[in-house]
Structure 1
Amino acid sequence: MARRPQAAPPAKKDGPRINSDIRVPRVLLIDEHGEKQGIMPTDAALEAAQEAGLDLVEVSPNTDPPVCKILDYGKLKYQEQKKKTEARKKQRTAQVKEIKMRPNIDVHDYEVKTKAMHRFFEEGDKVKVTIRFRGREMAHQDRGMTLLQRVKEDFDEVAKVEFEPKLEGRQMIMVMAPR
């Protein structure tokens, strides 16, 4: 037995209702100059919008009666799209950058690592400080903890500790975030 294809559900429009889509008997009308015209039948409001050469847009559908405004719908959509792209540009997710050290790191190497960490904090990123222990270094975990305490003190004014130093297997980890 052959099955008949089902009709697709009607396309759901996003955004406000405009012109003939507004099916309420009365609306509160605001004209193209932003002045309140009062409550009137929807047909009269549609005529006023057509005379102005613009669209009737339902601005606030949940009020009684709904508020409709006479404006250029294409222009409204364009401005909303522009706002969304601006908001997307300003949005930035903080990344977690990792700095790896060894328990007996040299002074100059430590300075190079801290310079990189300063740069990461200025860019608004979080920093994961990892100290890796190899071989017999596991017997001197206190050196690793001392090093992480030193890092914590050096960055006290620019960053806060988000994840306290903790030993995971053969490495000690601490996460810091910019203040």
Structure 2
Amino acid sequence: MGGHRPDSRDFGPRINDRIRITPIRLIDDAGEMIGVIELDEARKMAQEKGLDLVEIAADSRPPVVKMMDYGRFKYESAKKERANKVRNKVSEMKEVRLGRSMKIDPHDVGIRVAQARRFLIEGHRVQIVQNFRGREMAHRHKGEDRMDDIITSLADLAKVEMAPRLNGRRLTMVMVPERQKIEAWKRKMIAEGKPILPSVPEMMDEMEDDDDDDE
């Protein structure tokens, strides 16, 4: 029946030869109630359709049994469970620091932005931090300008959840991935034969290529 053999390690519902009580209340594979019939008759019906008998309400009297392809049922159930885990997974907050002060090389800023892109593609929220030292606080607008540039650089993947906010000598903002944009970016990478999660240097090359296209 359905090619599914009972396994002593299977702690799921009783199926096929593991069902012993007769009569049973049978439901067919379309969900229609057949009614109360003898177990042997139900087995013959299931065999004719190449399906399994699965006990879905063991405590009922008579027990309720349904005809189905149990192997396919287990596969679909596991698939749905994995999908639910992915949907319900709370994204982790990643922090990207733009050095200890405003005196960070533009190339190093590019590395930090590439790291942020990778985190966003992985589905994480990203907190970006710009620190100020000494007299840099008098020119904090430069830090705000840098944050605006980063927002523009990441706009193809994410949106701003928390706008740049000054707290002491730290300017912080939070960006969150946008699913549709991430999926579009992944399709683009696949079409171009590039890895979906490239290394940071590869990510920087991609960003530079995009800048060249804009010129």
Alignment-derived partner of residue 131 in structure 1: 130
Equivalent-residue separation in structure 2 for 1:82 and 1:152 (angstroms): 39
Partners of 2:52 and 2:149 lie apart in 1 by 66
Match of 1:40 among 36, 43, 47: 36
CA distance in 2, matches of 1:119, 1:26: 56
Question: How far 1:128 moved relative to its partner?
Answer: 1.2
**Which secondary structure state, in structure 1, belongs to the residue aligned with residue 102 of structure 2?**
coil
Q: Distance in 2 between matches of 1:151 and 1:35?
A: 55
Residue 111, structure 1, aligned to residue 110, structure 2: yes
Say which structure is richer in helix. 2
Specify the alignment match of 2:94 in structure 1. 97
2:54 counterpart (54, 57, 68) = 57
Q: CA deviation at 1:150?
A: 1.8
Normalised to the residue count of structure 1, the TM-score between the two structures is: 0.59
Letter in 2 for 1:69: K
Q: Structure 2: how far apart are the matches of 1:88 and 1:37?
A: 30
| Match in the other structure for 1:69 | 66
The answer for unaligned runs of 5 or more in structure 2 is: 1-10, 179-215
Q: Which runs of 5+ in 1 are unaligned?
A: 1-13
Confirm whether residue 158 of structure 1 aligns to residue 154 of structure 2: no
Maintained 8 Å contact 1:59/1:67: yes
Tell me if structure 1 keeps the 8 A contact 2:24–2:65.
no
Output one character per residue of 1:119-170: Cα deviation in whole Å (capped at 9) or x when no partner: 3333333221101122332333322222211211222222211111112232
CA 37–157 in structure 1, closer or farther in 2 if over 3 Å, else same = closer
**Equivalent pairs, count:** 155
Partner of 1:148: 147
Is the CA contact (8 Å cut-off) linking 1:103 and 1:147 kept in structure 2?
Answer: no
Name the counterpart of 2:186: none
Counterparts of 1:163-174 in structure 2, within 5 Å, are: 163-174=162-173
2: CA distance between counterparts of 1:156 and 1:29? Answer: 53
Mapped partners of 1:37, 1:140: distance in 2: 76
User: In the aligned structure 2, how far is the partner of 1:84 from the partner of 1:35?
Assistant: 20
Q: In 2, Cα distance between the equivalents of 1:163 and 1:173?
A: 8
- Select the structure that is richer in strand: 1
CA distance in 2 between counterparts of 1:173 and 1:71 reads 55
Q: SS in structure 2 opposite 1:94?
A: coil
Tell me the percent identity.
37
Q: What is the identity, as a one-letter code, of the residue corresponding to 2:141?
A: D
Q: CA RMSD in A?
A: 4.2
What SS class does the counterpart of residue 131 from structure 1 fall into?
strand
SS at match of 1:166: strand
Contact 2:28–2:68 (8 Å) recurs in 1: no
